Amino acid sequence: MKILTVVGARPEFIQIAPVDREIRARHQQILVHTGQHYDAEMSQVFFQELNIHAPEINLEVGSGSHAVQTGTMMVKLEELMLQEKPDFVIAISDTNSTVATAMAAAKLNLPLAHIEAGLRSYDRTMPEEINRIITDHISDVLFSPTQVAVDNLKREGITTGVFNVGDVRMDTIDAVLEPARSRLPALQPMIGLAPGQPFALATIHRAGNTDREERLRGIVQVFSLVDMPVVLPVHPRLAKMMQTYNLTFSDNVRAINPIGFLDTIALLDACRFILTDSGGLQKEAYMLRKPAITIRETTEWTETVTSGWNRLCEPEPEAFQAAVAAACGPLPAEHPDFYGTYGVSRRIVDVLESILKKSPPPSA
Ligand code: UD1
């Protein structure tokens, strides 16, 4: 079987690592990097640390408005897909690279699989929500990470080709947790933390938070209220907007350059709680049993909130301080197995094989 898999942004590199290995062990894989994320610390470091095979092709699309970025990718992907004629195209997550892949493949009538299908924030002001809806509605095979995601698809009338295989991040975390932990002693002094010193880990990169001056000012203000160091790897978009609005973080915030996946997991594993607007990090925090405060009005990972491990919070002092106090309190007693069990990548490739052989899918 010949598979063409497209990635372009950080969360996709993290998720594709175990799937790419599984595909390469059994089939021909053409891994395509759109070039949406191109800085070494946003891209290359993930390939190195997660031992991901070098992409067969890099489309070098780079930055641009949504239409320019997505459209340029589609033109290049269409040409490539016509040339390669893969048996399956795989799109992953919810970025502009995801939706460009899905639209290019669907219009060529190539079988399309979407990994991380069925997530919804029900907030259409987020570009990611538009990307998810379009991609899910034109995919043939939908790999959902949770039952909530399967139910979301059902509400939109999508019931065929849906497989609840679990979350591929389970496999990624499984592969890196021990090597990540061993990096902590070297990492702590680099960010001025004493061994065992409590700290919060923070990431902010969503346009809804960074590109609105009042909101970003609010985030800067509430971060100053945290009574411990806040370690903040700064995404390029955040750096740019802090400069545009002439904002600076308070002294308790340790702003550092973006870090790789191993260091992220090492810091997540060692922190008291996380402050984030990232989808992936909310889930990784849950997997590592860390409380999260999500600076957004909605989340795709509602089960992390209903189980008491994650709190949605606006950047307003009173609500924020209450959320921090709760996150530093006792952990919830229950930690249900929302994201399935290890072996998600193997299940994904098993399903694709069975579809091509027209035999009953293993978990249908
Ligand atoms: C994208 C995804 C988002 C994902 C995130 C992870 C979309 C719509 N959003 O958001 O779902 O959570 O990636 O990081 O696809 N930039 C650099 N260097 C890089 C990459 C980007 O400087 O290597 C700059 C760009 O010039 C741009 C900004 O960062 O100004 C944002 O990049 P972009 O690809 O538009 O989206 P992200 O915010 O990273």
Ligand 1 pocket mutation pick from 33, 74, 124, 205 by most atoms within 8 angstroms of CB: 205
Residue 208 beta carbon below 6 angstroms from any ligand 1 atom: no
Give the distance (Å) from ligand 1 centre to CA of residue 257: 15
Q: What percent of the chain has pLDDT over 90?
A: 97
Tell me the average pLDDT across 156-166. 97
pLDDT, residue 30, reads 98
Percent of the chain with pLDDT over 70: 99
Paired tokens of 341: 């069990």
Ligand 1 pocket mutation, candidates 235, 257, 282, 296, criterion most atoms within 8 A of CB: 235
Q: Render pLDDT for 329-356 as a digit per residue (tens, 0 to 9).
A: 999 999 999 999 899 999 999 999 999 9
pLDDT above 60 (res 364): no
What is residue 94's predicted lDDT score, i.e. its pLDDT?
97
Could you tell me the distance, in angstroms and rounded to a whole number, from the CA of residue 130 to the centre of ligand 1? 16
| Average pLDDT in the chain | 96
State yes or no: pLDDT of 199 exceeds 60: yes
CA–CA separation, 35 vs 58, rounded Å?
6
What residues are annotated to the active site?
Answer: 205
The pTM of the whole model exceeds 0.85: yes
Q: Give, using CA atoms, the residue closest to atom 15 of ligand 1.
A: 95
Binned at pLDDT 50, 70 and 90, residue 225 comes out as very high
Q: Ligand 1 pocket, 239 CB below 6 A? A: no
| Residue 363 confidence (pLDDT) | 56
Q: Per residue in 113-135, pLDDT tens?
A: 999 999 999 999 999 999 999 99
pLDDT above 60 for 306 = yes
Tell me the average pLDDT across 289-296.
98
